[in-house]
Amino acid sequence: MHIRFLVPGNVRHGSGGNKYNAKLAEHLMALGVGVETVIVDGDWPVGSAADRRRFAEVLDGGATVIADGLVASGAPEEVAGAVSAGTKVWVLSHMALADHADLEARALAAASGVVCPSAHAVAELENRHGLKNVVIAHPGVEAAEIAKGSEPPHIIALAALLPNKSQSELVEALATLKDLPWAAALIGTEHADPAYATKVRAAVERHGLQNRIIITGELTGELLEDQWRKADLSILISKSEAFGLVVTESLAHGVPVLVRQGTGAVEALGSTGAGTALDLTQPNNLASTIRRWLSDHELQQTWRTAAIQARANLPGWDGTAATVLKALGSGEGAE
C-alpha cells in the first residue's frame, strides 16, 4: 500500500496534531507502508480558492490519502470530487473545527472514512454531525526516563502559548501561592499568538514572578528532556483538548498531571490516579489543588507512584499505526 499523507502548512509549531501526524507516518513506514507526506500550504481550515485547488491537486491520482482534518474539513467539494474519481480519502480529525460546522459535516460525510485520536473526539463529531463508525486510533507514546524531580518542586506546562491552553489562568493561580516554595516553566512557542504570549509575560511580571516562572519558548531534544528530568508536576488545563499527548508524555516520565474536566485530556489520564481532573468552573480550584499538592508530601508521593506505575501500560505508536492500517485496508470505519 502507498499512502499520501496531507498535512497543513500553516501550523508550524510542535502541536499535538503535528506530533501525531509525524509519528503515525513514521510507524506506518515501519510496517512496510510507503508514505508520502505532503505539506499543503493555505489559510486552513477553509483556505482561499487557490488553496483548495492545491488541495484538490494533491488529492488526485487514485491513491489512498490520509488528510489532516484541519485541511480536509473545510473543503468538502474537493474531498467529494476525489472520492468520486476513485481516491480513497480518509480524514484524520484531531479535533472538530471550532467554526464551519456545515463544511465539516459535508467533508466528513464525503470521505471514505474518518479517524480520530480519542473517544472524546469521536463523541464530539457524533454530537455535532451524527457521524458514526469512526475509527479511534489512540496516540502512542515513546519510552522515557523517570523524572528525578527538583527542590523546590518544579511545575511544567508544555503547550504553545495560546488562549485555549490557559497559561494566563495558571499564572494567576500560581500568584496566590507565593508563600510556598515552587518553580514553574511554561514551555511552548510564543509565535502562534504573539499577543496572547505578551499577555502571559505581562501577568508574570505584574505578579513579580519573573524569578519563579520561566517562559522558555518551544523546546525540543535535550533541552526539553532537561525540563522533564526536573519536573514534579505537569499541568494541561486547555479549555478544549482532543486527547492531550502531553498527558501520556508526562506519565512516560513518571510525572503526575492536572487536567481540566470535560476535555479529552481526562481520557488520556484515565484511571491511573496519577493526578486529577479539575472542575475549573469552581473559583480557585486550580490554586487550591496545587496548594494541597505542594503542602502534602504524602499526596505528592501517591501521585508520583501512580505515574510511575502507569508507565508500564502506555501504548506505543506501533499500535496507532496498526489500527489505522487495518482500517484503511478493510475500508471499514468501525474500530
Q: Is 77 contained in some domain? A: yes
Question: Are residues 131 and 17 part of one domain?
Answer: yes
Question: Are residues 308 and 162 part of one domain?
Answer: yes
Question: Are residues 160 and 135 part of one domain?
Answer: no
- CATH code of the domain in which 53 resides: 3.40.50.2000
In this predicted structure, what is the pLDDT of residue 332?
A: 43
pLDDT category at 29 given cuts 50, 70, 90 is: very high
pLDDT digits (tens, 9 = 90+) for 134-151: 999 999 999 999 999 999
| pTM exceeds 0.75 | yes
Q: What are phi and psi of 179, to 5 degrees?
A: -75, -10
Q: Is 146 contained in some domain? A: no
Ranges of H-type helices in the chain: 16-30, 49-59, 69-72, 76-84, 101-110, 119-129, 167-174, 194-206, 221-230, 245-252, 264-269, 285-295, 297-310, 317-330
CA 189 vs CA 68, 194, 250: distances in Å:
21, 9, 19
Provide the number of structural domains found in the chain: 2
Domain hosting 183: range is: 154-313
Q: Is 123 contained in some domain? A: yes
Mean pLDDT of 229-242: 97
